Every structure is written in structure tokens, then in C-alpha cells.
């Protein structure tokens, strides 16, 4: 997956299409990610020790990585990145729009 935590992404399909947000978690094995304030779902909860009142809690639900595109932090455009070997174990992401290194 090209996208990492704290990246900004734009949603390209589904009900949140066109919205941007910051990635707060990635699940590479499921190819899904959580984006702050996007794809919110309502959870009805009973009162418990953490949440004395219970009621409705809104939280993010994961979005398929196929439905978002990375926004380059340098040129601020939706982009794809290439991986570039820096020698040894280190690889960096490079924006295909502006050729800037993103990591
Ligand atoms: Zn760029």
C-alpha cells in the first residue's frame, strides 16, 4: 500500500467522494484505512464504565484503499507515488507529479 498514517487522501468513489481527510490508521492486510471524520458510522452503545451515559457514538469506519488517492504534501494534488531505492534498506516515496520525495 502506498498510503501511510498521517497522509492526506481524497476519496474517489462512494458516498464520501471528493472529500479529503487525514489517514489515522492503515490496515495493510485488509487493504483498508481509516480517514479522520470520513465514512462515519453511528454506534449505539450501552452505558458502561468508559461511557457512563451510553447512547450514540460516531466513529470512522475503514475505507477501501482502492477508493482513495494520496494527496501529495508538496504539490497538494492527488497523485501516485513511485518507490525509489536509496540503497540499503531505505526506500522513499516520490510523487509522480512534482518528483518531490514525500517521506
Ligand atoms: Zn507532488
Query: What is the C-alpha to C-alpha distance for residues 103 and 92, in angstroms, rounded to an integer?
Result: 6
CA of 100 to the centre of ligand 1 (A): 6
How far is ligand 1, taken at its centre, from the CA of residue 69, in Å? 12
Å from CA of 28 to ligand 1 middle: 23
Q: Per residue in 68-81, pLDDT tens?
A: 999 999 999 999 99
What is the whole-number distance in angstroms between the Cα of residue 30 and the centre of ligand 1? 27
103 residues of the chain, pLDDT tens digit each: 889 999 999 999 998 999 999 999 999 999 999 999 999 999 888 787 776 777 888 999 999 999 999 999 999 999 999 988 878 777 899 999 999 999 7
Residue 3 confidence (pLDDT): 94
- Give the predicted TM-score (pTM) of the model: 0.83
Amino acid at each position: 500500500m502506498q498510503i501511510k498514517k498521517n497522509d492526506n487522501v481524497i476519496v474517489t468513489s462512494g458516498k464520501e467522494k471528493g472529500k479529503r481527510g487525514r489517514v489515522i490508521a492503515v490496515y495493510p492486510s485488509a487493504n483498508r484505512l481509516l480517514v479522520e471524520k470520513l465514512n462515519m458510522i453511528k454506534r449505539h452503545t450501552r452505558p458502561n464504565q468508559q461511557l457512563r451515559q451510553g447512547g450514540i457514538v460516531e466513529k470512522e469506519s475503514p475505507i477501501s484503499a482502492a477508493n482513495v488517492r494520496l494527496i501529495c504534501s508538496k504539490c497538494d494534488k492527488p497523485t501516485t507515488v513511485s518507490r525509489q531505492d536509496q540503497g540499503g534498506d531505505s526506500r522513499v516515496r516520490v510523487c509522480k507529479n512534482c518528483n518531490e520525495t514525500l517521506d
